[in-house]
């Protein structure tokens, strides 16, 4: 066994109210609760998928990966510890906030906080903040995350222990860098790495169920005055039709639909693409005057 899904993410932000407006008015997420220090957001029947933490320095905070059972959590803890990545036990407050039964915390080779858990609270009704067809989650997890890294081999090895395997590669000509895409379920990729001069969070992708939902999200982003960093386009490898906006935490969010899936691992062939998109994904754009 290995990881099952990318199940939740945490980000830091200076302005929780701005994140709330963006998440509800553009993305269609439901607010679970908000305090002076945190904002939690729902995408489906899971208690929450996004947690935004008030901080002086915006950016990535952590990723949460569902391993399904205590036995699998113990096995992965043993393997990672043997490789030089010791675990810290999640505190009672952390388990309570994340709504999970058990939690172990690791630091990957890029210095990013990685949380492995099982027993995420489910069954909560989802009421989107605006009318649309919902998010594509379930057994595919919440979407995907991407890091730029100067430690490509070490990062691939770390996440390989967790059960992620290579889907394909793209050589990104404008930056003369290779990107690696990795999957752990039928979603084309839940995790990706872009070679670069530093270790930094690059973007998160969430998937909706129709092209109309993507188009409406794009229009609402422009109407809110959000910076659209990449226009509508279609990616080569996962075939997602999407656009990108700058989040209130200072990184990009990809909002798309139509992603291909890996239904049969034995028949899947790893290839390398020489461009990120068939068409589009130009930018940045400004709202119409």
Token digits of residue 282: 């130009």
- Domains (range + CATH), the chain: 5-118 (3.10.180.10), 138-280 (3.10.180.10)
Phi, psi (deg, nearest 5) at residue 87: -95, 150
How many residues are given for the chain? 289
Phi, psi (deg, nearest 5) at residue 51: -130, 125
Residue 256: name the closest of 144, 169, 179, 171 by CA.
144
Question: What is the full per-residue pLDDT of the chain (289 aa) written as tens digits?
Answer: 446 899 999 999 999 999 999 999 999 999 999 999 999 999 999 999 999 999 999 999 999 999 999 999 999 999 999 999 999 999 999 999 999 999 999 999 999 999 999 999 999 999 999 999 999 999 999 999 999 999 999 999 999 999 999 999 999 888 889 999 999 999 999 999 999 999 999 999 999 999 999 999 999 999 999 999 999 999 999 999 999 999 999 999 999 999 999 999 999 999 999 999 999 999 875 544 3
């Amino acid at each position: 066994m290995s990881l099952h899904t990318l199940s939740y993410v945490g980000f830091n932000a200076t302005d929780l109210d701005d994140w709330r407006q963006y998440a509800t008015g553009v993305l269609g997420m439901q607010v679970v609760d908000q305090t002076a220090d945190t904002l939690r957001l729902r995408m489906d029947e899971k208690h929450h998928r996004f947690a935004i933490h008030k901080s002086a320095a915006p950016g990535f905070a952590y990723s949460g990966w569902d391993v399904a059972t205590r036995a699998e959590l113990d096995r992965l803890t043993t393997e990672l510890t043997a490789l030089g990545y010791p675990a810290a036990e999640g505190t009672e407050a952390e388990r309570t906030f994340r709504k999970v039964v058990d939690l172990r915390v690791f630091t990957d080779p890029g210095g990013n906080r990685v949380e492995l858990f099982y027993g995420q609270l489910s069954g909560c009704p989802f009421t989107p903040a605006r009318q649309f067809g919902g998010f594509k989650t379930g057994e595919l997890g919440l979407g995907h995350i991407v890091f730029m890294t100067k430690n490509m081999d070490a990062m691939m090895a770390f996440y390989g222990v967790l059960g992620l395997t290579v889907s394909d590669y793209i050589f990104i000509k404008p930056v003369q860098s290779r990107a690696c895409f990795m999957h752990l379920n039928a979603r084309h990729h839940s995790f990706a790495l872009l070679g670069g001069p530093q270790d930094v969070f690059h973007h998160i992708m969430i998937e909706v169920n129709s092209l109309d939902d993507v188009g409406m999200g794009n229009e609402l982003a422009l109407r809110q005055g959000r910076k659209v960093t990449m226009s509508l386009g279609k990616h080569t490898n996962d075939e997602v039709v999407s656009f990108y906006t700058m989040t209130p935490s200072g990184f990009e969010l990809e909002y798309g639909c139509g992603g291909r899936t890996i239904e049969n691992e034995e028949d899947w062939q790893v290839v390398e693409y020489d461009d990120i998109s068939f068409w589009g994904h130009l930018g940045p754009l400004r709202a119409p005057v």
